[in-house]
Chain A
Amino acid sequence: MPQRRGSAGRRLIVLGLWLGLVASVLPWWLETPPGSVRGTDAAVLAAGRITGLVAGYLLLLQVLLMSRLPLLERSIGTERLARWHRDLGATVVVAVLAHTALILVGYAALERRSLIDEAGLLLTEYEDMAGAFAAAGIMVALGLLGIRAVRAALPYELWYYLHLSSYAVLLLGFGHQFTHGQQLFRPGPVRAGWLAFYVVVLACLVWGRVVAPLRFNLRHRLRVADVVAESPDVISIYLTGRRLDRLDARGGQFFRWRFLTTGCWWQSHPFSLSAARNGRWLRLTVKVVGAHTADLRDLDPGTRVWAAGPAGTFTAAHRTRQRALLIAGGSGIAPIRALLEELPPGAALIYRARTPADVLLHRELDWLAEARGTDIWYVIGGRDDPGPRQVMSGRGLTQLVPDVARRDVYLCGPPGLIEASTSALRGAGVPRRQIHLATFEL
């Protein structure tokens, strides 16, 4: 059973990120004498500089959040990182647009030109500024792509590769900060510090995306051992490798898997481990929903596997209470099953499935229930059937598990179940920090 982790690490990181924001605007504050920002033009220019510094910082922060640095993945968690990235994304786009517009208006007023003349001048005469405009354009396009409806309409892979062009924003927007940034163009500590932040973020990116996965895969050299059908549309993939006894993954965590066959190598998909580590094999349990997962049924034993991870805070180490309630929906049982092995005895499990045939791993679950003193309720039926609806309401949950408000609740399943259960749990008095989510979409 893992030690409890606590949230001190996460709080420290968040504090550091806020301090970074303050530090990025501080040079402006120190260099601008009090009372010097008078009149509309000066105010516009000052606001343009502030938003520029903020945008520059947030852009790097966006990259840092997606760097897959093991420290961030384990202490903040992939879901939360993705949510922050998403929420910050809108802010970065607005900050960049505000910066562009304010500087344009400010310079035009300073040099007494029309906005169009000034824009032309910036584009043609100012070094690196054409790149900066291109970066702003890409960023706006990415912002539009990020809108939920647009994102849903595009195939995931296309969306993903389009989104990778955000690295071009980093590259194209880099130069103008140092050639024209009022706080950055002079050699000195501010410029050095800003450059150092770039170096740190790039180092995190290289570490999280290249070095750490490389090390992991060279050490463990995972291969497919067997593919087993759990139900007509669910498979379990067993993996073996070297030194699995030293593999540092907790039940409930996931990896991003790349199966190195001709059809699959270019796709990377997140799947949870469906058994806690045992030193001999790993297992993932996957529902066949698309072309990629269908291909996985035909994996040959011996196929090499590239894994990036482990990631996620859906673990026993992140519990805040002694007892837990686990709620699984459909194939969401996979991480729950692994988690169950590492939780203290006395946990309770509610397993939602549409039909009895959709219940997966039930022999293992029954065995675990006996071995670890776990109560399991199988709740079978459609979403609108009266039985499941009654059980999954706030009152129903309280009847099943009277001390639910004093438990950690681990939820994994399709978005509908997660949403409905979260509001039912909040209604039953479970504090938000005791609710742990593993969503299917990252």
Chain B
Amino acid sequence: MRRAVFAITALAASTTLLVVFKGGPAATEVAQNRPAGRTGGSGTPAIAGAPPTGPRSGVVPTAGTGASRPAAPRQTGKAPAAPPPARKAPAPPANTPFTVTGPIVTNNFGQIRVRVTMTGSRITNVTAVALPRGTAESSRRSDSVDDRYSGNAGQAVSRQGANLDTVSGATATSDSYRSSLAAAIDAAAAGRRG
């Protein structure tokens, strides 16, 4: 019995110790999974949101793009209310593919960011740059959303827009995905005009 008490105490102590070690003020480059104070996701620089590749990328939505989005999702609140500052790029020639990266949308499970490849005014590919991976379960939900929406044969390409069916069991991630996608599409349109 004495040994059991000892073992349980040791378990509690070593678990606490491990957690404290990992919470130390070391590197801070990694975002936390837990929701930040605000739910509306403006571009939090924390996530490894790989900057758009290719010479013609870098068109980023300007303020007010959220207006044309589908109805704001319940859980994400007012999604990309304040998108990241625009980096103006020269307007690409027509019919050359270019990519636009949407804003980071934070919901209760993590952060979502979508990149759209446009050829002319057509959406030809969509990839998710960031999806919630905090738990195995949210990772699985993210995968199902990703499978349904993304890719050059995904729903976003086949419907040519952000009006996509909600993936059952992954409502919040679906909503956030659509928000980021809608903002990216709007930005692409603005970029073409500009």
Instruction: Enumerate chain A interface residues (CB-CB to B < 8 A).
Output: 25, 28-29, 32-39, 41-43, 45-47, 50-51, 54, 86-91, 94-95, 98, 107, 109-112, 125-126, 179-182, 184-185
Give the docked Cα–Cα distance between A111 and B108 (Å).
5
- Count of B residues near A, CB < 8 Å? 34
- Min Cβ gap A147→B in Å is 10
Contact (Cβ within 8 A) B24 A34:
yes
A95 to B19, CA, bound (A): 16
Chain B nearest CB, measured from A242 CB (Å): 43
Closest to A55 in B: B11
Q: How far is the CA of A88 from the CA of B8 in the complex (A)?
A: 9
Complex formed: what's the CA distance from A185 to B136 in Å?
6
The answer to whether B18 touches A109 (Cβ under 8 A) is: no
Chain B residues with CB below 8 A from A45, complex form: 33
| Chain A CB within 10 A, most for which of B3, B134, B135, B139 | B135
Partner of A94, one of B8, B23, B139: B8
Kindly list 4 other residue pairs between chains A and B, CB separation below 8 angstroms, not including A94-B8, A110-B134, A125-B169. Answer: A89-B4, A90-B7, A110-B33, A184-B136
Neighbouring A residues of B50 by C-beta, 8 Å: none
Report yes or no: B137 in contact with A180, Cβ–Cβ below 8 A.
Answer: yes
- B residues in contact with A54, CB < 8 Å: 11, 15
Which residues does chain B contribute within 8 Å of A50, judged by CB atoms? 15, 18-19
In the complex, which residue of chain B has the Cβ closest to the Cβ of A122? B137
Q: Give the nearest-CB partner of A40 in chain B.
A: B34
**Which of B21, B25, B34, B139 has the most C-beta atoms of chain A within 10 angstroms of its own C-beta?**
B34
Residues of A within 8 A of B7 (CB): 87-88, 90-91
Inter-chain contacts of B139 with A (CB < 8 A): 185
Minimum CB distance partner of A181 in chain B: B136
B22 touches A36 (CB 8 A): yes
| Interface set of B (CB-CB < 8 Å, partner A) | 1, 3-4, 7-8, 11-12, 15-16, 18-19, 21-30, 32-35, 108-109, 134-137, 139-140, 169
**Pair B32/A38 contact, Cβ less than 8 Å:** yes
Would you call A90 and B8 a contact (CB within 8 A)?
A: yes
Taking A29-B18, A87-B4 as contacts, is the C-beta distance between A36 and B169 under 8 angstroms? no
Contacts A35-B22, A54-B11, A87-B7 hold; do A107 and B135 have CB atoms under 8 A apart? Answer: yes
Question: Using Cβ atoms and an 8 Å threshold, which residues of chain A touch B32?
Answer: 36, 38-39, 42
User: Please, how many angstroms separate the alpha-carbon atoms of A47 and B12 in the complex?
Assistant: 9
Q: Give Cα A41–Cα B35 distance, bound, in whole angstroms.
A: 10
Give Cα A98–Cα B9 distance, bound, in whole angstroms: 12
Q: A110, B35: Cβ atoms under 8 Å? A: yes
A86 to B12, CA, bound (A): 19
B4 to chain A, nearest CB (A): 4
Contacts of A51 in B (CB 8 A): 11, 15
